[in-house]
Every structure is written in structure tokens, then in C-alpha cells.
Structure 1
Amino acid sequence: MRIPVLFYHKIGYPPPEAKLVNLYVTPENFYKQLKYLKLRGFRTINCETYFKIRRNLMNPPYKPILITFDDGFKNNYTYAFPILKKFGFIATIFIVVGDIGKKVRWEESEEDLPEEILSWEEIKEMHRYGIDFQSHGFTHRHLDALPLEEVEEEIKNSKRILEENLEKKIEFFAYPYGSYNEKVKEILKKHGFKAGFTTRKGKERDLYEIRRVGIKYKHKLWKFIRYVEWKY
């Protein structure tokens, strides 16, 4: 069974000086998208349920969909979280663990504005509701360009810190910039990760390169509908 997997970055309003506008989805558009999913009977699931369905370990609910966010920006709490709660939906946030509570600007967005990352207080509140937090690495670097020892530290440390603070197993990973290779996948397996999510396009070869559809600022509702409905 093929399940739609969506990914977002920022829910909010891009400032006039913002360069990477397509990383945003306005709260109004996000609301319309979730309203459509609700009216059409979609059921949001977490990564563990997604994994079990893909492995034929459980029967799927009616029209399952996995909503994910990359990075863990504070606007996921400010704007996305209230809208998710309004519709009774859950989502997964792949968070950059080493930047929790900080204001950051990563290497490929040097010309853009710094953004705040969620605090532990916000993370724990969302976690109690049912938002699924998983790893997006420790520092947000291209893992396929790092020495293997550094890849191991990125993966191992992000997993350990999340598990200690949330008291749950961390078993799913989204590659920063969607970048990975076979050695990165092997390190994920070594540390007990069940699956890896990317932003790359193309055919999946296994559960360590799960493709997702990016929802962007410019997308109209009809395009969103096409993305989620073609799987069915």
C-alpha cells in the first residue's frame, strides 16, 4: 500500500526580505490543506504506524497519511500546532537536536534570516499531545559529505539526547538536505533506526530512502489535492 508522505518546513508568513520563501506555508493555506484532509476522511499516522503498514505488520486505517516537518522551527509550535489540534491531527517533526532552543541559519541559507528552533518546553508539550519527534541529526550537515566518524556522532548523539529527554525510542531519521549514501544508511541501521526519510525524488529502493512530497509557499490547494489523492 502506498501512503502519502508530506513534508513542510515553516508555517508562517515570510518576511519581505526572506530569500527562501518556498520553505514557508501560510497558516491560512495550512488550515485549508488540513480541512481538506479532514473532510475527505484522511487519518494522520506517525512513523511507527507507517513503518508497520509498509512491512505488513498491521492493517492500515482508512486513507492514512503521514505529515512531517523538517528542522523543528518554533513556528511549528506557534502556527502549525494549534491547527493540527483543531482537526485532531498528529504529525512528525524531525528536529535538529543540537540547535534546540537556539536561533540558527544553516550553511545553505546563509543569505536568509535566522530562525528560532523549538525549545524543550515546547517540544515536551507537543510530545504529550501526540506529536512524534524524531531525529534530523545533531547539526544539520550533508551527511554524505562527512567522514564516517562524524556521521556516526551526528546520528548517535541526536538519538541519545532525544531518548533521554522524551523517554521514548527514536527509530526514524530524516536526512538533512535529503543527502545520504549507502554508508550513511548502514550507520542508521547500526544504531537501531528502522527507516530514513529523504527529500530526493525518484524510486525508493528500501525503507531507508522514503520519498516525501514537499509542500511549498507557491502551491495552490488543487496542487496539494493532486499530491495527496493520486496515491489512492
Structure 2
Amino acid sequence: MTAASIPVLTYHSISDEPGPTSIPLSVFSEQMKAITDCGVTVLDLDQFLAWRKGEFEVSQPSIAITFDDAFQDYADAAYPVMARLGFPSCVFAPSAALGASENWYGANERRRRLMDWSTIKELSDGFASFGSHTRTHADLTKISGETLIAEIADSKHELEDRLGKPVRHFAPPYGHSNKAARDEIARHYAASFGVRLGKAGRNAPIFDFPRIEMHYYRDLPRWRDFLTGRGGAYFQIRRAARGVREAAEKILRPQPR
């Protein structure tokens, strides 16, 4: 891993819940410790974007850390670990769902609770920043017109009004977007982060940055190999398999009429 690319990590829930979107706290803690042990710097998303634009240079291996969905266990489990290490992270929050439980397609059978406004306000004064994940965790490829605009623009305004801070970054739920969605995102945000598996280089699309799903790196020796520039064969295999799955999902996904 060199300054030619910077991985952006993706987490959802730090808990013992089943499924690929949950990672146990014990594993997460070791993943974070490995970052420090391997001499890797953690950038915030504004630094990462400045690097992508050639406005900021990094002199050692670097990563950025993101969380989708704003689950309560971010505050209870993940944030304390990262705060002790001085790691910044960005949480993509569905603004209309804060303080409630997940109720969208693909949610856990046992619905996970999202942070409330007072919690994210408190964390935003520390090492956490917040981006938009739409208002209602909407699939942007299934909506259009005023509904699309509201999901993208209104979520930004709600977060900014409640937090008193600019909201510059966006992540579409499920990683689903199309040209209409990306054009609207670009009107309101500085960057958007998808779910394509990959490291972000300086030619990466600013409104569809790839990320690294961290459930692929629950095995800690494999994670340390990744951080130190080894383990390339495993990464390429995972990337190829993910690409096939995403292509199939795109073909099968219903399109809005």
C-alpha cells in the first residue's frame, strides 16, 4: 500500500449480531490496533479528498475510515476505540431514521438501533464527522424527481441544521446510484462513496469512490498483510468475486418507470 492509493474502509455495525454488516468489538479493536502497529496514518475525508485532488500529500501509508447507517453501537463500541487512538472517522447517517431502528430492505431480523441527534451532536465535537446516507436509507435507483432531490438534498440540510457543521460527503444506500442521482449528489456534496471493492487512486471518480468492506478482513493476519502491502492475491480474488456479484445485481435490479 503506497501513496498511489488510499483505502477507504467501510463498517456498519460493531456488534455480535449475525451477518456481514456486523463485526465483533474484539475483532474491530484488533483491526484498529493493527493500523497503529503497521505505521498507517488515518486521514479524515476532507484530507482524503484533498489528496485525491492533488492538494494534499501523504508521506506514509494512509487510510480513511467510514461507517454506514449510524448505528448506536458506533457510539457505544467503535468510537471509544478510535478516540483512544486519535482516529477520525465519518459516519453516513440516514437523517430521518436517527433515533429509530433500521426498517429498510436488508435490515437485520433483530433491528439495530440508530444513534439519536444528541448523540451524533456530541460525537461531532470530537473525532467523528457525519455525512448523508439519504433521509430514509432509500435506494436512489428506484426513485426520481422531487423524491430523489429530497432524499439527497434535504438530508444534508437536516444534518447541517442540527449539527451546526457543513456536511460535505455522501454515501448512497446499498451503493446504488445512477446518472440522475450522481448529478444531484454533485450539486450538494463534495464527494460520494460507493461500495465497489477497491482502493482509491488519484484517478478514482469523486462521486463513486470505491471502499474496502471490512468483513473481508476479519482474519487479523490477513488484515496485517493488507496494511503492509502483502496479500494482494486475496484482495484481487475478493475484488473479482465482488465485481461479478455487483454486475449480476445491476442486471436484475428493477428500474424506475
Output the TM-score relative to the length of structure 1. 0.90
How far does the alpha carbon of each residue in 1:103-122 deviate from its partner, in whole angstroms, 9 at most, with x for none?
Answer: 2221223x611111001121
**Ranges of 4+ aligned residues in structure 1 off by more than 6 Å:** none
Q: Does structure 1 conserve the Cα–Cα contact (< 8 Å) formed by 2:197 and 2:213? A: no
The residue identity in structure 2 corresponding to 1:58 is F
In structure 2, the partner of 1:125 is 122
Task: From 191, 194, 213, give the equivalent of 1:195.
Answer: 191
Q: How does 1:1-40 map to 2 (within 5 A)?
A: 1-14=4-17, 18=18, 21-40=19-38
CA distance 1:228–1:5, change in 2 (3 Å): farther
Q: Structure 1 unaligned runs (5+)?
A: none
The residue identity in structure 2 corresponding to 1:134 is G
Shift of 1:125: 1.6
Separation (CA, whole Å) in 2 of partners of 1:89 and 1:218: 19
Task: From 112, 117, 122, give the equivalent of 1:115.
Answer: 112
In structure 1, the partner of 2:58 is 60
Q: Structure 2 unaligned runs (5+)?
A: 233-257
Q: Does structure 1 conserve the Cα–Cα contact (< 8 Å) formed by 2:217 and 2:223? A: no
CA distance 1:201–1:145, change in 2 (3 Å): farther
The residue identity in structure 2 corresponding to 1:43 is T
The residue identity in structure 2 corresponding to 1:168 is K
The answer to which of 5-14 and 98-107 deviates more is: 98-107
Backbone CA RMSD of aligned residues: 2.1
Separation (CA, whole Å) in 2 of partners of 1:205 and 1:217: 22
Matched residue SS, 1:187: helix
In structure 2, the partner of 1:158 is 155
CA distance 1:218–1:39, change in 2 (3 Å): closer
How far does the alpha carbon of each residue in 1:158-187 deviate from its partner, in whole angstroms, 9 at most, with x for none?
Answer: 100111111121111001000011111100
Task: From 84, 88, 91, give the equivalent of 1:90.
Answer: 88
Q: Does structure 2 conserve the Cα–Cα contact (< 8 Å) formed by 1:71 and 1:94? A: yes
Separation (CA, whole Å) in 1 of partners of 2:111 and 2:48: 33
Q: Does structure 2 conserve the Cα–Cα contact (< 8 Å) formed by 1:100 and 1:117? A: yes
Q: How does 1:65-84 map to 2 (within 5 A)?
A: 65-84=63-82
In structure 1, the partner of 2:206 is 207
How far does the alpha carbon of each residue in 1:3-27 deviate from its partner, in whole angstroms, 9 at most, with x for none?
Answer: 011100000112xxx4xx2111111
Shift of 1:61: 5.1
Q: How does 1:46-57 map to 2 (within 5 A)?
A: 46-57=44-55
Separation (CA, whole Å) in 2 of partners of 1:218 and 1:194: 29
Aligned length in residues: 225
The residue identity in structure 1 corresponding to 2:113 is E
Q: Does 1:178 align with 2:178?
A: no
Matched residue SS, 1:94: strand
Separation (CA, whole Å) in 2 of partners of 1:83 and 1:53: 26
In structure 2, the partner of 1:106 is 104
Matched residue SS, 1:129: coil
Q: Does structure 1 conserve the Cα–Cα contact (< 8 Å) formed by 2:40 and 2:227? A: no
Shift of 1:217: 7.8
Separation (CA, whole Å) in 1 of partners of 2:144 and 2:204: 24
Separation (CA, whole Å) in 1 of partners of 2:179 and 2:57: 30
The residue identity in structure 1 corresponding to 2:209 is I
Matched residue SS, 1:199: strand
The residue identity in structure 1 corresponding to 2:114 is I
Shift of 1:76: 0.4
Shift of 1:31: 0.7
